[in-house]
Amino acid sequence: MKPLQGRVVLITGASRGIGAATAVLMAKAGADVAVNFFSSESEAAKVVAQIEQQGQKAIAVQADVRNAEDVKRLVETTVNQFGRLDVLVSNANINFAYKPFMEMSWDEFSEKLNGEMATAFRLCQAVVPHMEKQGGGKIITIASGLARTPSPNFIAHGSAKAALVTFTKYLAQELGPKNITANVVSPGLVLTDATKHQPKEMHEMMANLTPLHRLAQPEDIAGAVLSLAADWNSFATGVYLPVNGGMDLS
């Protein structure tokens, strides 16, 4: 039996990058998938088509996950379509200002903090009643190594992801009695649209510093998400799982 046979997975920001790779891998593992997108409708349609090729069902749902009404509609659409919701992967890449602290305004900083946290907060509050009714579920948030290891100009992003990590651990504690696990997957640098503008030399340097001697592809992160989402994971909760090829061994 496949590790997600009969399960329904909702992935935010699944039109591209890590979310798209995760959506396809979840389908290979036997799940039906709700593919959330913000603006990339045709990319989301391609992900849906790949999932259908695996013999699973999928829907693409447009929603800005920073928006409360959109989150409500996204979760309701998923449950109405598939009749249940077993796994939430909160992955969408929320925009952030990339600049030094002394050049950043509070509005810029709080926009990222608020965007990241409002998204996770509302998504989790919306999915938990369905998971509870079904007797359990799995929540996986996608953080970043920058939550623990600062890098110049990433103060808004890193601080927001650090809040997300702690938030997920609180969920693990409170939702455990409902048989709902909550875990964090925390990637290092991954080759996606979000990082393709970065200098090639920097990527080469980082690959050389990484024990596995390469940078991550989106599929590498998807594999880690599956390891926590699958039915075989019944007891790991509140886990912070770094997926960085051994780049940060602290």
Residues of this chain that bind ligand NAP (CB under 6 A) = 12-19, 36-40, 64-66, 91-94, 142, 144, 187, 189-190, 192-195
Instruction: Starting at the earlier edge strand, list the strands of the sheet with 180-187.
Output: 58-62, 32-37, 8-11, 87-90, 137-142, 180-187, 240-243
Nearer to ligand NAP, 42 or 102 (CB): 42
Q: Least separation, in Å, of the C-beta of 52 and ligand NAP? A: 19
Sign of CA dihedral 172, 161, 110, 10: negative
Output the CA–CA distances (angstroms, integers) from residue 73 to 8, 50, 174, 175, in the order listed: 16, 24, 25, 23
Q: Which is nearer to ligand NAP, 66 or 130 (CB)?
A: 66
Of 148 and 169, CB closest to ligand NAP: 148
- Supply the minimum distance, in Å, between the C-beta of residue 108 and ligand NAP: 16
Tell me the C-alpha distance between 92 and 218, whole Å: 13
Smallest gap from residue 95 Cβ to ligand NAP (A): 7
For residue 178, the minimal CB distance to ligand NAP (Å) is: 25
The pair of three-digit structure tokens given for residue 187, joined into one six-digit string: 């990637």
Q: Which is nearer to ligand NAP, 39 or 208 (CB)?
A: 39
From the list 27, 144, 147, 32, the residue with the least C-alpha distance to 83 is: 32
Residue nearest to ligand NAP (CB): 17
Beta bridge partners of 180: 137
Which residue blocks in the chain are alpha helix, DSSP H? 17-28, 41-53, 68-82, 106-134, 155-175, 200-209, 218-229
> Of 163 and 179, which has the nearer Cβ to ligand NAP?
163
Residues 6+ apart with CB under 8 A from 20: 14, 35, 43, 47, 218
Cβ proximity to ligand NAP: between 219 and 231 the closer is: 219
- Fill in the DSSP letter of residue 153: T
| In the complex, minimum distance from the CB of residue 163 to ligand NAP, in angstroms, rounded to a whole number | 13
Give least dist CB 102 to ligand NAP, A: 24
